Amino acid sequence: MWEYPFVYHHLQFQGGSLPSQTLPQAVDLGSAATFFPFAVARLGWRVIAVDADSRATSSVDRAIGRVSAGSGAVTSLLSDARSIALETESVDCVYCVSVLEHVPDFEKVISEIRRILRPAGLLVLTFDVGLRAGWELGPVSYARLSNALEGSFSAVFPARVIHPLRVLTTDNSIFPRSPRRFIFDPLITPLRHSLHYAYNRLRGRQYPRSRALASTYGACLRKH
């Protein structure tokens, strides 16, 4: 999973461009229960791990005092990303790893991120984009999301234009989602997906007939 190194790199090297203060404050939006808030805190940040799931914030609370935060600090906050319980212009950075693709009304989340960020604050963002039907965030909603971001943020670095045939996906990455195991995989994989589709239909669950294919977007943005 490249998203964590991507975010870590930008927080490490962009933090110095923020207004000087004792301990810059970052929000891990949709933090879940991971090591990452503590890794960021060791870079000299005060990290607020925000999640709408109490199991995630409870896990962070249990880790505080047991996992080193280095020169930084970690706290948790139980809050919906569409209405973040933080003061306006109170944080220096928001980072958000693979969250927006799971929120249909992501415009509200982007508006909240803009609200809590200080002027010229950073947004370090990744999200998955489905390239076939059945994903929560596909090409059409990706265009909406891009427009919403452009309305509030500017890219810190120029966008890299990549030819479609060179885009890393769940098929051609070094860790493919469904790696080929033997020579008959091209015959067996469609059968396996058809059986999975039929099984989920019998259970009344939605399941795309085509095999999943996705790529990931990542950017470091600055509030206008």
Q: Which is more confidently placed, 103 or 95?
A: 95
Task: Report the range of poorest mean pLDDT among 29-38, 54-63, 197-206.
Answer: 197-206
Task: Report the range of poorest mean pLDDT among 30-44, 78-92, 150-164, 167-181.
Answer: 167-181
Q: Which is more confidently placed, 95 or 171?
A: 95
Q: Which is more confidently placed, 220 or 128?
A: 220
Q: What is the CATH number of domain 3-163+213-223?
A: 3.40.50.150
Mean pLDDT of the chain: 83
* Residue 126 three-state SS: strand
* Sequence spans of domains, the chain: 3-163+213-223
pLDDT tens track for 16-29 = 455 545 789 999 99
* Total Cβ atoms within 10 A of residue 37: 29
* Total Cβ atoms within 10 A of residue 13: 11
pLDDT tens track for 185-211 = 656 666 766 776 676 667 665 555 455
Q: Which is more confidently placed, 215 or 88?
A: 88
Q: What is the pLDDT of residue 20?
A: 47
Give 79's contacts (C-beta < 8 A, 6+ positions apart): 50, 51, 52, 85, 86
Total H helices, total E strands in the chain: 6, 7
Q: What percent of the chain has pLDDT over 70?
A: 71
